[in-house]
Amino acid sequence: MTTESPSSLIPVTLLTGFLGSGKTTVLNHLVRQPELADALVIINEFGEMALDHLLVAHSTENLVMEMSSGCLCCTIRGDLVKTLRDITWRFSRNGQRQFRRVLIETTGLADPAPIIHTLMTHPQIAPKYRLDGIITTVDMATGMHTLDRHQEAVKQAAVADALLLTKAELVSGEQRHTLLRRLDGINPAAPRWEVRGGEIAPQKVLNLGLFSADGKTPEVARWLGEEAYALAHEHAHDHHDHDHDHDHEHEHEHEHEHEHEHEHEHEHEHEHGQTVHESHGHHEHGHAHDHHDVNRHDDHIRAFCFHVDEPIPDEVLTTWLELLMGFVGSNILRVKGILNVEGEEQPIVVHGVQHIFHPPVPLPAWPSEDRRSRLVFITQDVDREVVERTFEALRQALPQAGEPTA
């Protein structure tokens, strides 16, 4: 295997941060900048219903792929490896690659260690790509609470080459000082930039140099070491089934050749389009990991996905979300949705984090022909039935409301 020089490798920027910390808002700003005009964007979301790629795709001419098959950290050795391996030919014309860099937005629940380890050491990835920097968004309004409750958030902040501090306008000076002191202990070396409306100069987050654990807290090297050990143990276990796997892989390779032809034809059909959507959807993930529920992160955190077929009265929407936030707000880690609201021609985007719900924002246009409202709730220790019952109660109080379907 021939390894290219670092300067010829495709740079990969990893954009991470906990649920609701503003990753997609930052991404929406970055992809509009000329420095990322030739970037391929890979968006990973937790749960079977993906929305973020719709919010990004309407505003950019970049190539956009969405991986809606669950958390990247769970499927990193499968879906992401396959994606990075294949995009060089899937997104090419006349033998020329259509992109010069890759920007990956992870789910807010991602443990970054498996992703970093794979990008830096996987034999099919490391010879083609270089990890050019890790950007982590930190919600200043909910950051302390999140860091206290979720180890994933601590890891995301610790590995960062740059920290983007969002929602500073929502915190007091004392809250800001407390969070910054906490970050001093987690990642003292990374530069910090306060971000409003997702706006950040590309030069502050691109070309940050090859990722290194040097200069970061000792925990970062330990996490990467643990990941290497886990991977080696997994390989040793798999070696016992090598002969069986070899036969299966031979058959798979034959199928892959057919898939290559199909994908190439699909790509040719989109040759004149500016934005490409590709999905490693629920079916594909289930085939590879049929034991894994893509809507469940662990015993406590899960995603609930809803469609509402009819336009939603604004009164029902506002009352419902206020009721949920007041009742179980601290355990609603994330709410996001694209809604068809009665009386509105444009789709309305809503999003909230814990007790904070941001004002609805209209999109310029519907991103697809689908006009149904789509809502994703990511909750901790809140059953789906709680969310369903509150909507149903309001729907019956105002019968003109649409009925949600799973």
pLDDT string in tens for the chain (406-residue length): 455 556 689 999 999 999 889 898 899 899 889 998 888 888 876 544 455 555 554 445 556 655 544 444 444 456 778 888 888 888 888 888 888 999 999 888 889 998 898 899 999 999 999 999 999 999 999 999 999 989 999 999 999 999 999 999 999 999 999 999 999 999 999 999 999 989 999 999 999 988 888 889 999 989 888 887 676 666 555 555 555 545 554 444 444 444 444 444 444 333 333 333 343 333 333 333 444 555 556 677 888 777 888 888 888 888 887 777 777 777 878 888 888 999 898 999 887 877 777 778 888 888 788 888 888 888 888 887 877 777 777 767 655 544 555 5
CATH superfamily of the 301-405 domain: CobW-like, C-terminal domain (3.30.1220.10)
> What is the fold of 6-240?
Rossmann fold (3.40.50)
Cα Rg of the chain (Å, integer): 21
Smallest CA-to-CA distance from 72 within 62, 60, 84 is with 84
Cα–Cα dist 121/139, whole Å: 31
Read off the tokens for 49: 């219903």
Cα–Cα dist 382/25, whole Å: 26
Look up the pTM and report it: 0.69
Cα–Cα dist 211/270, whole Å: 35
Cα–Cα dist 118/74, whole Å: 12
Cα–Cα dist 325/406, whole Å: 21
CA 340 to chain centre: 24
How many Cα atoms occupy the beta-carbon half-sphere of 313 within 13 Å? 14
Alpha helices in 58-194 (DSSP H): 72-75, 81-90, 112-121, 143-149, 151-158, 173-186
Q: Where are the domains of the chain?
A: 6-240, 301-405
Pair 144, 53: CB distance under 8 Å: no
pLDDT, residue 9, reads: 93
Q: Return the residue matching tokens 């979300």.
A: 321
pLDDT, residue 162, reads: 96
Do the domains 6-240 and 301-405 sit in the same CATH topology, yes or no?
Answer: no
Pair 15, 208: CB distance under 8 Å: no
